Amino acid sequence: MSVAHRNRAERLTEAEIFQAHLGGKLSTHVPGTPLDARTLSAISTPGVARVSRAIAEDGRLAARYTWAHRLVAVVSDGTAVLGLGDVGPVAALPVMEGKSALFKALGGLDSIPLVLRSHDVDEIVETLRVLRPSFGAVNLEDVAAPRCFELERALDDALDCPVMHNDQHGTAIVVLAALRSSAELLGKPLSAMRVVVSGAGAAGTACARILVTAGAGEVTVLDSRGVIHRDRPGLSPAKERLAELTNRAGVRGGLADVLPGADVFVGVSSATVPEELIASMAPDAVVFALSNPTPEIAPELAAQHASVVATGRSDHPNQISNLLACPGIFRGALDAGATRITERMMLAAADAIVALAADDLAPDRVVPSVLDPRVAPEVAAAVAAAADPALRDPALRDPALHEPTLHEPVPSGPGEGRP
């Protein structure tokens, strides 16, 4: 099916879109309903007091008798929402609700959206620190660069649970997987590929870093001022670190100076790329035009010059979506009792995605569908296996090993706490 035909067949109407969001996308499911008197006594007073007493005596029991260990907080300040920019926390909430719904639908994990009216890193960290008993992991979403780098580092230091900025690392993991699959398909080793990354925000920085780590031949990154290189004045600390990792040849200039002859274009900015520059790339080029909802170049135009074309959209082939990495990464980290998400775990996630794509590899299928039910379990298993034993909490990894201390039933009556 052609891209154009897919678009016509699957185009959503305004009415469909708003109907899908009517009343929000989340609700609470209560096991054991409808309630009878016996169930009410078990989940409320007097029964709940017995569970609270047991947890007070052995805090490890919270992982078994509450949902916190399997609950992911989806956190945003609303400063970099999709391609919309800084729309604020209230307008970000529909996106975070959607992410939470997809955590459940794709990964079997409960999650809750938390949108915060603050741009202050210390304030956000302190807010999540005091809320820490209520959740088991933090998925940062749509936080603008460069503050997102500082916020992720600060939360890693402050919290004893997995933290990951999905726009950075989720996107980078899937880009790496898609590029490795493309390299296999085209018979080009990754180590021989020259990669141009347009965009030096959260996603662009993480993509460049993981590609360098994975052994890409040459990686060059551009921002709105052109190529990032070590001698360029006025670089932010994040871009200074990026300049140390990339552009070993010290190339300067703009996109027109680096894209001709390149093997790979990764677009993670809102900049439009002229068709003639895509046409100037090396034979069997790879184009990942990932800006959403409007790619840097229309995929049907890019396909006239490149052998593999991917976007971030669900209505085109080869959707490079961080949903392929997440929620599987969080599920794997929580399954393993991991307190950190490490680079090794991220590379393992990419390996799992590549292995799934290998079953049906083709120019329009270099990554599996985000709706493929195998993805989250396979990614989770790979991530759990790659978790650092030194960063695991055994009590979280296997909460069933811990049994509560038995007490006499707690009587109900005047003065008892309310549910």
188 is catalytic: no
- Residues 25, 99, 188, 239: which is the catalytic one? 99
Tokens coding 282: 């090396």
Tokens coding 68: 């916190």
DSSP string, 1-33: --HHHHHHHHPPPHHHHHHHHTT-S-----TTP
Angle at CA of residue 413, ends 409 and 419, nearest 5°: 80
Strand partners of residue 163: 138
The residue assigned the tokens 């299928």 is 365
Helix ranges (DSSP H) in 159-274: 171-186, 202-214, 237-245, 255-258
Tell how many helices (H) and how many strands (E) occur in the chain: 18, 10
Residue 175 identity (one-letter amino acid):
V
> Residue 252 in 3-state DSSP?
coil
Strand partners of residue 267: 198, 289
> Pairing mode, if any, of strands 218-223 and 194-198?
parallel
CA 74 to chain centre: 10
What is the rounded CA–CA span in Å between residue 415 and residue 227? Answer: 69
Tokens coding 377: 């379990």
> Pairing mode, if any, of strands 137-140 and 308-311?
unpaired
The residue assigned the tokens 């970000």 is 92
CA 143 to chain centre: 12
**Residues that are catalytic:** 99
